Amino acid sequence: MEGITIDEMCEKLVLPFKTVEGRIQRAGIKPITKQALYPYETLDIIKNTVMGRPKKDATPETAKPKTKPAKSKPGKKAKK
* pLDDT of the residue at 41: 87
DSSP element (H, E) containing 80? none
Q: Give tens-digit pLDDT for 17-37.
A: 999 999 999 999 888 877 778
* Residue 12: predicted pLDDT: 92
What are the pLDDT digits (tens) for 26-73?
A: 999 888 877 778 888 888 888 877 777 777 776 655 555 667 766 777
Q: Which domain holds residue 33?
A: 6-47
pTM: 0.50
Tell me if 37 is assigned to some domain: yes
Write down the pLDDT at residue 48: 77
Q: Judging by beta carbons within 10 Å of its beta carbon (0-12, 13-18, 19+), is residue 38 exposed, middle or buried?
A: buried
Identify whether 30 is part of a domain: yes
User: 62 lies in a domain?
Assistant: no
65 or 1: which carries more pLDDT confidence? 1
Decide if 57 is inside a domain: no
